[in-house]
Structure 1
């Protein structure tokens, strides 16, 4: 188990490492949760990583700047990274769970070597709705993060738009996160299953449509 470090989300004081599923019904609700989380991380000298669709980067940066975050300064120092889904989750036009796991682990190790005590990462999972090759590895990937996070001082928020994903997909995704954000509140997830238990149900999951 890595060193525990404090962080806050949804007004609750928590300790990393933590893998969190964020269910949001609007862009506004999403930002109400992640902006304070990001701002606190920057003030605490945590490494902050945001991953979202490339066409959202301009809007995202404007939102951060409107809340007093110096985009140029924090990105130049390397403390803030804003990455594109197209260069991470679906690099090369496909999703590969093992490659994404390795990329995230490299980023966590790099942050530690750079002197950051903790990493805060938010990933928008909308890329999965494109149903590109490998998307059926989504559940396996989410489950694998519960093996990765305890090894590092980090908090990871996987953000899902509840109006876009099917109810079956959201139910399955919920099984892979120890904590869940819903209606702007965070709680321990009573439906969480250990990675080994989740893997046994992957064959059932992959046949289900992701989009409602």
Structure 2
């Protein structure tokens, strides 16, 4: 395991590496959690990555600016990246779990080489509602991140809109995250299952 680094979310100080599932019932609730998390990361020399649908980028950047973040400066320096789901999760119109895993791994390695203390990433998982080819790999992908994250100083928040995802999908996703954010609070997830067990289930 990599050296642990502290970070704060939902008013709690935790230690990375950490893979977190964020369940939100509104955009407002989502931002109440991630804005302080992002702001702290930018203030302590963390690399910060946000992945959202491209049609949300304008709103997202305005929200960051309204909270005192110098968007142009942080983007220009490379410390902050605001990426599109269409160019990451569902590049070429499909989800390829292995390619996304490799892209994330390369990002974590590059950030470390660039001198960042840690990486903080927030990914909006709304793309999975489009049911594009490969979406059935979502849960296996989420489980695989529990193999990747312990190797790097990072915290990853996978953001799910609980009003749009099915209860079955949310229940499966919950199995793959050691920590969960719900109702604005973060807790250790009692439903978490080790990656090897989840992935063995997909192979059977």
> TM-score per shorter chain, which class?
over 0.9
* 8 Å CA contact 1:139, 1:202 repeated in 2: no
Partner-residue secondary structure (3-state), 1:157: strand
Partner-residue secondary structure (3-state), 2:142: helix
Match of residue 184 from structure 1: 184
Q: State yes or no: 1:144 paired with 2:148.
A: no
How far apart, CA to CA, are the structure 2 residues paired with 1:6 and 1:179? 15
Q: Residues 1-212 of structure 1 correspond to what in structure 2 (within 5 A)?
A: 1-202=1-202
Gaps of 5+ in 2: none
Runs of 4+ in 1 over 2 A off after TM superposition: 200-204
- Describe the superposition over 1:46-68 as per-residue Cα deviations: whole angstroms up to 9, x where unpaired: 00000000000000000000000
RMSD: 0.9
- Describe the superposition over 1:66-104 as per-residue Cα deviations: whole angstroms up to 9, x where unpaired: 000000000000000000000000000000100000000
How far apart, CA to CA, are the structure 2 residues paired with 1:200 and 1:18? 22
Q: CA deviation at 1:199?
A: 1.6
Partner-residue secondary structure (3-state), 2:123: strand
Q: CA deviation at 1:121?
A: 0.2
How far apart, CA to CA, are the structure 1 residues paired with 2:148 and 2:156? 11
TM-score (norm 1): 0.95
How far apart, CA to CA, are the structure 2 residues paired with 1:161 and 1:200? 27
Gaps of 5+ in 1: 205-212
- Describe the superposition over 1:21-67 as per-residue Cα deviations: whole angstroms up to 9, x where unpaired: 00000000000000000000000010000000000000000000000
Q: CA deviation at 1:203?
A: 7.0
Alignment size in residue pairs: 204
